[in-house]
């Protein structure tokens, strides 16, 4: 995966917090997707960036995280979001 590829979060995807759970709701298909604590943190950063590279740079600066592990987690997370229709990447 090219970390410099811009991504887009569809406007139909809505974040909600209910009790202590964070969930994404895609109003385009009515499906829900629960985020764990790490996922919620990654999603929050992704809403303020446009590339995975930018997310990594920001998180490495702010949090005490190992870059390699963060990259792997973020790529896996992004791929899941794409599968669920919650994220899309522009072609390089």
Query: CA 52 to CA 43: how far, in whole Å?
Result: 11
Q: Cβ 20 to other proteins, closest distance in Å?
A: 7
Q: Cβ 84 to other proteins, closest distance in Å?
A: 14
Cβ–Cβ < 8 Å for 56, 67: yes
* Eight-class DSSP state of 19: T
Among 2, 4, 8, 21, which residue sits at the site for other proteins (rule: CB under 8 A)?
21
Cβ–Cβ < 8 Å for 8, 91: no
- 34 forms part of the interface with other proteins (CB under 8 A): yes
Instruction: Give contact residues for other proteins (rule: CB under 8 A).
Output: 12, 14, 16-21, 23, 25, 27, 30, 32, 34
């Amino acid at each position: 995966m090219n970390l410099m590829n811009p991504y887009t979060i569809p406007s139909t995807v809505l974040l909600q917090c209910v009790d202590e759970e964070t969930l994404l709701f895609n109003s385009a298909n009515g499906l829900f997707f629960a985020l764990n604590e790490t996922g919620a943190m990654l999603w929050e950063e992704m809403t303020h960036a446009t590339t995975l590279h930018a997310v990594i740079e920001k998180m490495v600066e702010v949090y005490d995280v190992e870059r390699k592990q963060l990259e792997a987690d973020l790529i896996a997370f992004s791929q899941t979001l794409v599968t669920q229709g919650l994220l899309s990447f522009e072609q390089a």
